[in-house]
Amino acid sequence: MASRIFARASAFAAAARALIGIEPRIAAPAGPIGDFLNHSVTEAEQNGFFRWFHLAETRREPCPNGDQKIVYQPTGEKFHDLAIVIVTVNGNALINRMELMLKRSFIASPRDGIFASDIGKSFVLACLPEDAPEELRTLANEIAHRARTSQPMIVGPGFPSPKLSERASRAYEVYAGVRPLHATKLPHYRFEIGNRRAADSKELSISFTIR
């Protein structure tokens, strides 16, 4: 009898939370997610993504909740202000949010847009855990292979272009500037891609956040 009463109470509580828009609390992940979430900043900085794109710390900003934002930018002058990575760490010095910001002018550039797609695709793949949904892996392929550029694209032997559907995914439509926002909630993290207007330009944000 007691178990049935408890089950009914739990079901009622879940229905009440859904009715008023409150999500049930999810236990924190026990270990790392992908190459960055729940890793230390030192580990992240040694990752191939940071080294390949020559990302260096440019500033730190405290957050009201005690977290800290660490901003990284490419060391090269050409792309220094076009691509920005923002790493948020918690009180245990572990990463709980990764964000890549790309200028829309960078993405749309006939000449340099291919470099924007390269860092965008690489960021998504580095953040994904092994059990990531196919939707997000498809997005990485779309960013890499739907890109338009005036530069020649050379694909080496053994690396054929993936077969993509004729219609782009909703997430990629955000990358392309067609949609404003797309988000996916997963058991331990949230993925979001969105367009926004900054003070003097338009930007694309891609983020992974521990829930």
pLDDT digits (tens, 9 = 90+) for 4-38: 433 444 444 444 444 445 444 445 555 899 999 99
Q: How many CA atoms lie within 13 A of 184 on its CB side?
A: 17
pTM for the model stands at 0.82
59-100 residue pLDDT tens? 999 999 999 999 999 999 999 999 999 999 999 999 999 999
Q: Is the pLDDT of residue 126 over 80?
A: yes
Strand 189-197 and strand 202-210: the pairing is antiparallel
Residue with token string 């272009």: 161
What is the pLDDT averaged over residues 168-195?
Answer: 96
Q: What is the DSSP string of 112-172?
A: THHHHHHHHHHHHHHH--TT--HHHHHHHHHHHHS---SS-----TT-PPPP--SSPPHHH
What is the pLDDT averaged over residues 44-48?
Answer: 96
| Chain mean position to CA 114 | 18
- For residue 2, name the pLDDT band (cuts at 50, 70, 90): very low
- For residue 166, name the pLDDT band (cuts at 50, 70, 90): confident
What is the pLDDT averaged over residues 167-183?
Answer: 96
Q: Amino acid identity, residue 84?
A: I
